[in-house]
């Protein structure tokens, strides 16, 4: 058992139910609302609708993986909290390109920033992040950025240990980020079960995917958006099936990496990206039925939707000294 912070206040890990481990209620950039590019009321309305649709197909918890520099909006959470039956866990941490102010910090400075949000709440509100987001992508190939990104990873690890909260990683599997991240987290003394190596179903290299599970990490098969075609959906479901058949269902979590409201990826003329209000339902409506048709049992489905994420929160809580 572990206490987990949600936008509705603390919950016990046993209360999470089926979880989508990686979604976004908004995605964009901080301060865009001041420039008229972000309509909070619209974002609240769309968020409540998308969460309700997911709730209606059985999901009970959604993890919003949007840190400050990806446009996280605590007032959006505040507006949604009373209007949804869904548990929503929000994130501190850092997105892809390490923002300039962070670049001057050392590992402990980065950890202190995350711990302040975790312990005191976001921007003077009572909303506390329940998880740490860390994003590595193609910019990791650039040496000066790599130094910053590795520093953020160590900062995230130290905050995770001090606060007893898990880390969820956006990775680019084509660059095998999971290997390096797990090395760093091991050096920092983390229980790797408290780390989700996300977007791993972008990978077509099953040796890599299985290696993440063998090393003890939680494996995020958390990209299953309505934008991908049916053949690619099936390929992604096969990644899950392979892990289940190899005995790793308890370490797999499933999600879409969709947004209910997004400025990123909008039309060329600017504006909000048209989002599918059922974008948080595809795992339940398409992927789970496919897996069951291919021999996956209800117990294994529960491992992926309920027990894996719960276990990662409990492993994180156990690290807190
Ligand atoms: Zn994401």
CA 215 to centroid of ligand 1, rounded, Å: 23
pLDDT for residue 35 is more than 90: no
CB atoms within 10 A of CB 299: 9
CB atoms within 10 A of CB 267: 9
Confidence of residue 304 (pLDDT cuts 50, 70, 90): very high
How do residues 201-210 score in pLDDT, each as one tens digit?
999 999 999 9
CA 170 to centroid of ligand 1, rounded, Å: 7
Give me the residue spans of the domains in the chain: 17-319
CA 257 to centroid of ligand 1, rounded, Å: 5
CA 83 to centroid of ligand 1, rounded, Å: 23
Sign, CA dihedral 87-93-97-100, equals positive
> Could you say which architecture CATH assigns to the domain 17-319?
Alpha-Beta Barrel (3.20)
pLDDT for residue 66 is more than 80: yes
CA 28 to centroid of ligand 1, rounded, Å: 11
pLDDT for residue 179 is more than 80: yes
Mean pLDDT, the chain, integer: 96
CA 196 to centroid of ligand 1, rounded, Å: 13
Report the Cα 77 to chain-centroid distance in Å.
16
CA 266 to centroid of ligand 1, rounded, Å: 16
- Find the mean pLDDT for residues 136-149: 96
Confidence of residue 151 (pLDDT cuts 50, 70, 90): very high
CA 70 to centroid of ligand 1, rounded, Å: 9
- Find the mean pLDDT for residues 236-243: 98
pLDDT for residue 315 is more than 80: yes
d(CA 306, CA 300): 10
User: Residue 321's pLDDT is what?
Assistant: 65
Residues contacting residue 282 through CB under 8 Å, at least 6 positions apart? 224, 225, 226, 233, 256, 258
* Lookup: tokens for 90: 């929000």
> Percentage of the chain with pLDDT > 70?
100
How do residues 265-301 score in pLDDT, each as one tens digit?
888 888 888 889 999 999 999 999 999 999 999 999 9
CA 107 to centroid of ligand 1, rounded, Å: 23
pTM, two decimal places: 0.97
- Find the mean pLDDT for residues 75-88: 97
CA 65 to centroid of ligand 1, rounded, Å: 6
Residues 190-202: b if buried by 16+ CB within 10 A, e if exposed = bbbbbbbbbbbbb
d(CA 156, CA 135): 11
């Amino acid at each position: 058992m572990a206490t987990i912070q949600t936008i509705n206040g603390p919950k016990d890990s046993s209360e999470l139910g089926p979880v989508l481990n990686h979604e976004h209620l908004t995605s964009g950039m901080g301060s865009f609302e001041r420039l008229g590019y972000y309509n909070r009321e619209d974002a609240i309305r769309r968020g409540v609708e998308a969460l309700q649709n997911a709730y209606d197909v059985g999901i009970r918890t959604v993890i919003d993986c949007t840190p400050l520099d990806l446009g996280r909006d605590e007032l959006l959470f505040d507006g949604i909290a009373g209007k949804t039956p869904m548990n929503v866990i929000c994130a501190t941490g850092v997105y892809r390109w390490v923002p300039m102010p962070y670049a001057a910090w050392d590992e402990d400075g980065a950890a202190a920033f995350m711990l302040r949000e975790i312990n005191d709440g976001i921007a003077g509100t009572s909303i506390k992040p329940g998880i740490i987001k860390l994003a590595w992508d193609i910019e990791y190939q650039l040496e000066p950025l790599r130094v910053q990104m590795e520093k953020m990873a160590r900062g995230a690890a130290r905050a995770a240990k001090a606060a007893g909260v898990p880390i969820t990683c956006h990775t680019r599997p084509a660059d095998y980020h999971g290997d390096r991240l797990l090395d760093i987290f091991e050096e920092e003394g983390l229980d790797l079960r408290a780390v989700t190596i996300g977007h791993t179903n972008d990978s077509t290299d099953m040796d890599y995917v299985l290696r993440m599970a063998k090393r003890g990490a939680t494996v995020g098969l958390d990209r299953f958006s309505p934008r991908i075609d049916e053949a690619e959906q099936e390929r992604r479901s096969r990644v899950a099936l392979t892990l289940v058949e190899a005995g790793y269902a308890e370490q797999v979590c499933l999600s879409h990496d969709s947004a209910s409201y997004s400025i990123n990826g909008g039309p060329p003329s600017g504006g909000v990206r048209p989002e599918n209000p059922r974008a948080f339902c595809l795992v339940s409506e398409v992927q789970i039925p496919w897996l069951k048709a291919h021999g996956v049992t209800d117990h294994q489905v529960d491992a992926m939707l309920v027990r894996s994420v719960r276990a990662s929160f409990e492993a994180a809580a156990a690290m807190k000294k």
